[in-house]
Amino acid sequence: MSTPLAERIRPRTLDNYLSQQHLIGKDGALTTQLSSGVFPSMILWGPPGTGKTTLATIIANESDRPFYTLSAIDSGVAAVREVIEKAKKSDTLFSSKNPILFIDEIHRFSKSQQDSLLGAVEKGWITLIGATTENPSFEVIPALLSRCQVYILKPFTKEDLTNLLKRAIKIDEKLSKINISLKETEALIRLSGGDARKLLNILELVVLSETSEKVTITNDLVSQKVQKNTVLYDKTGEQHYDIISAFIKSIRGSDPNAAVYWLARMIEGGEDVKFIARRLLILASEDIGNANPTAMVLANNTFQAVNTIGYPEARIILSQCTIYLATSPKSNASYEAIKKAQQLVKQTGDLSVPLSIRNAPTKLMKELGYGKEYQYAHNYEGNFVAHEFLPDEIKGTNLYIPGNNPKENNLKKYLTNLWKDKYNF
């Protein structure tokens, strides 16, 4: 069986490693550690085809350490323990070159599988490198995550991908023997979805399907060749992101028919039930928020329920939640408010907390005026008294602008009546 192009030209050294300069460039987060050969257990988090496996392999090679690799898809607790036992017998154990255990798709490991790694990581029997396309905050247990440094791999730029195509044509043993002209790259890059592995495999498919001595890569040629090879749903590639995008936008756009269709596409394609439920939970806050606070409650219950039940019955719960969110009033006011607030913090820095609302647990603090002019709201009619809670430099700033929907229109009236001139929407 022929080795795929992506594997044939996989970089073996950092000098040939493409992109991720924020990690391995001159001032990269990993640069000093790699040059010293001393680095922590880590989680490499990024989209498919951004070089996570390649980087792990290079780290092992350049640090001259024993390297063990497991895939979370087909490895259980027994496999993990077997590797740990091998690592414990290694000649380099407890040295600065202790063995590396690389686990691909670590987000697919169950809690018990991840638990089995804790002791080995903590005691230094192994240095763990995990790779994941999912947010490790959700998918890696806290005890293991606290023992690892998380490094984020960025999607490749168009320039990165174009350079990768040129490099492949130049250095690959097979392609370098063919007269290839890279006239257009847009279709290759679009169909790859930014996945370098997929990009190279599409390039090889197109080139090897041509019989002429010279192959001119054009957008039309690529579209023609790849159209016959498109899969229904690739849950690790471009369609994973395209379909979840269509799903979210259909719910945001209040179209339950389209939303449940895209949900079915993901379910039939074998998408992770937790991934779908997590996106629903995010959407309930980001796109519905206070227009219908119950949406958040239902989405959270959905997340808990589908984790307990699993497929196939989880599809019913996902469908119910999807339709509820799609038919709910929408508001992104809370989302916009926190964006504005964070931007304001970045612009203004660490402004002092007004003295009147500072905590005053000691006599000295009280003498300094901490909490001196604070007005306790419950001592006033309607449990409210007008008071400035923002720092002086930004007092009067409006960050939360309620959306135009029944519930938030009531909030507008409530805030306007309370604050008179301050909240004037």
Provide the pLDDT confidence category of residue 143 given band limits of 50, 70 and 90: very high
Residues 148 and 167 in one domain: no
- Cα maximum dimension of the chain: 89
> Which candidate, 205, 189, 227, places its Cα nearest to that of 6?
205
Provide the pLDDT confidence category of residue 93 given band limits of 50, 70 and 90: low
Provide the pLDDT confidence category of residue 327 given band limits of 50, 70 and 90: very high
Residues 186 and 278 in one domain: no
Residues 25 and 139 in one domain: yes
Domain count, the chain: 3
Q: Which residues contact 419 (CB under 8 A, 6 or more apart)?
A: 386
Provide the pLDDT confidence category of residue 239 given band limits of 50, 70 and 90: low
Q: Which residue has the higher pLDDT, 389 or 260?
A: 260
The residue type found at 193 is: G
Whether the predicted pLDDT of 232 surpasses 50: no
β-strands 67-71, 179-182 pairing? unpaired
Please report the pLDDT score of residue 234 as a whole number.
54
The CATH number covering residue 255 comes to 1.20.272.10
β-strands 149-152, 100-104 pairing? unpaired
Whether the predicted pLDDT of 13 surpasses 90: no
3-state class of 248 per DSSP? helix
Mean pLDDT, residues 100-126: 89
Spatial distance between the Cα atoms of 406 and 377, rounded to a whole number of angstroms: 27
Pick the last residue of a domain from 299, 326, 353.
Answer: 326
**Residue 372 near residue 355, CB atoms below 8 Å:** yes
Whether 261 maps to a domain, the answer reads yes
Asked if the peptide bond before residue 312 counts as cis, ω within 30 degrees of 0, the response is yes
Residues 176 and 78 in one domain: no
In 310-332, alpha helices (H)? 314-326
Whether the predicted pLDDT of 424 surpasses 80: no
Pick the last residue of a domain from 206, 227, 248.
Answer: 227
Whether 416 maps to a domain, the answer reads no
**Residue 215 near residue 250, CB atoms below 8 Å:** no
Whether the predicted pLDDT of 213 surpasses 90: no
Element (H, E) at 180: strand 179-182
Residues 194 and 289 in one domain: no
pLDDT in tens, 282-296: 999 999 999 999 999
Other CB atoms within 10 Å distance of the CB of residue 141: 17
The CATH number covering residue 198 comes to 1.10.8.60
Residues 55 and 74 in one domain: yes
Query: Token digits for 210?
Result: 């041509």
Mean model confidence pLDDT for the chain = 87
The pair phi, psi for residue 356, each rounded to 5°, is -65, -25
pLDDT in tens, 17-35: 888 989 988 888 888 888 8
Whether 24 maps to a domain, the answer reads yes
Which range has the worst mean pLDDT, 87-101, 153-167, 236-250?
Answer: 87-101
Please report the pLDDT score of residue 95 as a whole number.
57
The pair phi, psi for residue 224, each rounded to 5°, is -65, -45
Residues 162 and 70 in one domain: no
Q: Which residue has the higher pLDDT, 237 or 373?
A: 373
Beta strand spans in 114-170 (E): 127-132, 149-152
Q: Which residue has the higher pLDDT, 163 or 369?
A: 163
Please report the pLDDT score of residue 231 as a whole number.
45
Whether 180 maps to a domain, the answer reads yes
Residues 162 and 136 in one domain: no
Residues 63 and 99 in one domain: yes
> Which candidate, 396, 397, 424, 421, places its Cα nearest to that of 412?
424
Spatial distance between the Cα atoms of 359 and 353, rounded to a whole number of angstroms: 10
Spatial distance between the Cα atoms of 180 and 194, rounded to a whole number of angstroms: 22
> Which candidate, 23, 9, 27, 89, places its Cα nearest to that of 56?
23
Q: Residue 307 belongs to what domain range?
A: 238-326
Please report the pLDDT score of residue 297 as a whole number.
97
Element (H, E) at 104: strand 100-104
**Residue 138 near residue 43, CB atoms below 8 Å:** no
pLDDT in tens, 118-131: 988 988 889 999 99
Residues 290 and 248 in one domain: yes
Residues 204 and 318 in one domain: no
Whether 389 maps to a domain, the answer reads no
Pick the last residue of a domain from 88, 121, 152.
Answer: 152
3-state class of 70 per DSSP? strand
Residues 182 and 283 in one domain: no
